[in-house]
Structure 1
């Protein structure tokens, strides 16, 4: 991927229309919705199927499927049209929702969650491609549209447990599957109305030529490498499958070797290595999302285990993370437009250090509710600023044709971070989700934030942004 910063961005003042960005955002909410609602449905699912064996895979199946599919979805959008692939993903979501709601066994439900993961992986990368193509075609600035897409995900990922708790309590766990259908239908109608039709597909020629242009061998190696890595990370929470380490390393070496000499590589690793802005941004994203999911997974567990709250009450206590996160995202968008990525990321990383220290030093089971809400609000700040800084850097470092694949890689990194966070929580709360477990988790978050802060302060690539 070649770095092609948009030199006209500073001259652009007219934003991408809100109807387009919100319309695209209506579909991107389905991934965070499905990844967060399931947390409050797990007990009911285990009771319904009469066993807790394999329940963890109901959660992990969607994360793994999304992680390995997102870059592929961006690549398919570049070849066949972003709107076509976006709408095709909504169709897969509808099929997965019906299959999951009617699942006769746990294995069937896990398969349905995989289908949901594949479908939900298509929205964000292709929404970014549609936004970028519109901005380039009409001379508009994409920053506000990126903020809208980020805000949609930010709100839903925090609201998901609360909404899921209400649905499961009123209608059973199947309701978290059925709720996908009206959202997917509305999103499809909205996108058809506001997004311009795709032009002729770029992947012309015979079916064999089209297949070769997709680099199926590169895709297969990427899927195998990512899946192996995710399986290993998940195994760390139960019993480490060390044999996966050499297997994972072998697959990734083969992937790099293949992509380095492929005529039309799925991911141009040579260009990626030469694009320091993109490669360092993806590395920063991995640390950022590991810290974010430590908050997202760890705080609700402590609220229930350390404070004795119900799942619904714990979900409500997470609302400040969502509300402040939306405000932070919009504020970060304006800050990025005026002062660039460095200052935006400085706010985000400083907030992460502060939030981690508060969890490590100030929170305990006797803390007043007001203090917990204040800390939750502070924890809503970092992700908005870090997300906006990093996503805008990905956008500025890639061309319109490449941005979908790059954002797909961004999403893959996000869910690898989610699984790393699950490992961190397993270690820090190994003796229970008590005060000590929360303090250890907070210390890890603070260390990760400090690492990011030092990196931002001394990054050479950020001097140009």
Structure 2
């Protein structure tokens, strides 16, 4: 085992579990229109199906990462898979949009356990065997996540078209069960852990509540397009102030502001991920809705239009895993994102489907490169003893980007997507990508290529 610390048996259940979050995040994209039709809901209302999952994940990822550090990564991973199976059952019988939002919350908790647990398992395995940072293994993990995220709209479109939108929830049951059985068989048991304090104190429940309240208040304000709930803004401000006050007084807070201030490169990586994934998720959710709503295509056809994007995302992820540096992949990703935004400006509802697919395909490159390169950056920049929580916090910032994308789409699309609203969305994505390109070009905190091969924090 020492010669092959990251063999297939170890990686397969981890990779399968890591697919659950991205595939559930993106399968919903091609089902939003049928769900809105069944429940007589608008774009802003169905936007809660996206925002609820990411709001929950933003809190659950670092929380479960902390639990993985304290209780053992395997234990946390297995428990999260059980929650995914329960969510699959509940989604099948959902009678209302509110019920469905609750199911997405449960899915957010369940699917949040895989990634921070995987990073914790990688660290323990590397330390136990004296192996260098498992960049190839992490690249494979990122590849499976990117590939399933990219194929999510295709699978969601096919399942919705053939079996109805309930199927995108039901499919979680066999996927989670298979992963659970493989994890029980092939992932080594956790070493015994000794809790220093009661678990509720270790998790910093007040910090979680302040953070959740801040995000929820912001989302309530921004997603209510018809009439702004202005009282949500002071609630968000007060929650944010309480979060900062509490975090600075606590030794190991939910959001460790001292750690972020001390590790500036890691903080910049988080901010970069938030903005980059805002662009990525604008593509995932905005494009599919436009193809169906403005183009008049079916859910399955909208999913098929993302196939070239899926292929490029997989190729870019593999290439990123083999790249030694960080700056180069980031710059290429943001340049391609700018080109993709320009391509979207050149299409409209009368364009053939193949042209729509070609225009959006360019976004597959930033999707693949940003994911794997950000993952490598966090592995290098985070303190070793906090890697599980830091990896979860990386996903938190990515989910902040996803929630921001929900808001951007709601603002641009209004009550229904049109050609003009798609072009407005494309301009916004182009501006964000250009800012990322310039900021990364002058970011001196990114290590050189040679440093990556030697790093073992």
* TM-score, normalised via structure 2 length: 0.89
Q: Does 1:226 align with 2:218?
A: no
Q: Which blocks of at least 5 consecutive residues in structure 1 are unaligned?
A: 1-12
Which of 174, 178, 182 aligns to 1:186? It is: 178
1:200 is the counterpart of 2:192:
yes
For 1:433 and 1:108, how far apart are their aligned partners in 2?
A: 25
Deviation at 1:160, TM superposition (A): 2.1
Considering only aligned residues, what root-mean-square deviation do their CA atoms show, in Å?
2.4
The residue that corresponds to 1:380 in the other structure is: 364
In structure 1, how many angstroms separate the alpha carbons of the residues matched to 2:36 and 2:343?
35
Match of 1:354 in 2: 339
SS of structure 1 residue aligned to 2:362: helix
Alignment of structure 1 residues 31-430 onto 2, 5 Å: 31-42=21-32, 44-45=34-35, 51-52=40-41, 55-138=46-129, 139-204=131-196, 209-235=198-224, 237-335=225-323, 337=324, 340-360=325-345, 362-430=346-414
Residues 15, 140 of structure 1: 8 Å contact kept = no
Cα distance in 1 for residues equivalent to 2:239 and 2:106: 24
Q: Give the whole-Å Cα distance in 1 for the aligned partners of 2:246 and 2:395.
A: 23
1:24 alignment counterpart: 14
Taking a change above 3 Å as real, the CA distance of residues 369 and 213 of structure 1, as seen in their structure-2 partners, is closer
Q: What is the distance in 1 between the residues matched to 2:383 and 2:184?
A: 24
1:459 match: secondary structure:
coil
Once the two structures are overlaid, the 10-residue window that deviates more, 102-111 or 268-277, is: 102-111
CA distance in 1 between counterparts of 2:416 and 2:161 reads 26
Structure 2: which 5+ runs fail to align? 450-457
1:221-242 superposed Cα distances (whole Å, 9 cap, x missing partner): 223223333333333x443322
The 8 Å contact of residues 64 and 112 in structure 2, kept in 1 or not, is answered as yes
Separation (CA, whole Å) in 2 of partners of 1:142 and 1:463: 18
Residue 280 of structure 1, CA deviation: 0.4
Deviations 1:231-268 (Å, cap 9, x if unpaired)?
Answer: 33333x44332222221121111111111121332332
Cα contact 1:15–1:143 (8 A) shared by 2: no
Distance in 2, matches of 1:271 and 1:151, equals: 29
Shift of 1:456: 0.8
Contact 1:68 1:226 in 2 (8 A): no
- Evaluate the alpha carbon distance shift between residue 227 and residue 426 of structure 1 in structure 2; reply closer, same or farther with a 3 A threshold: closer
1:309 match: secondary structure:
coil
Displacement of 1:55 in angstroms is: 4.8
Q: CA deviation at 1:367?
A: 4.0
Q: How far 1:104 moved relative to its partner? A: 4.6
* Distance change (3 Å), C-alpha of 1:179 and 1:249: same
Stretch moving more, 307-316 or 196-205: 196-205
- TM-superposition CA deviations, 1:77-128 (whole Å, max 9, x none): 1111111001110111112222232345544333232212111111111112
The 8 Å contact of residues 62 and 396 in structure 2, kept in 1 or not, is answered as yes
- Alpha-carbon distance, 1:135 to partner: 2.2
Structure 2 CA distance for partners of 1:234 and 1:415, relative to 1, 3 Å? farther
Q: Which moved more, 1:438-447 or 1:277-286?
A: 438-447
| Cα offset, 1:369, TM superposition | 4.6
Whole-angstrom CA distance in 2 between matches of 1:433 and 1:52: 14
Tell me, yes or no, if the aligned pair for 1:321 and 1:377 is still in contact at 8 Å: yes
3-state DSSP class of the match of 1:364? coil
Q: Is the 8 A contact 2:211 2:240 kept in 1?
A: yes
Q: Distance in 2 between matches of 1:202 and 1:440?
A: 54
State the number of aligned residues.
Answer: 444
What's the CA shift for 1:370? Answer: 4.5
8 A contact 2:80–2:114 mirrored in 1: yes
Please list the CA deviations of residues 163-183 of structure 1 after superposition, one character each: whole Å capped at 9, or x if unmatched.
Answer: 223323333333222211111
Look up the SS of the partner of 2:363 in the other structure: helix
Contact 2:33 2:289 in 1 (8 A): no
In structure 2, distance between residues paired with 1:363 and 1:251: 43
Post-superposition shift, 1:59? 3.9
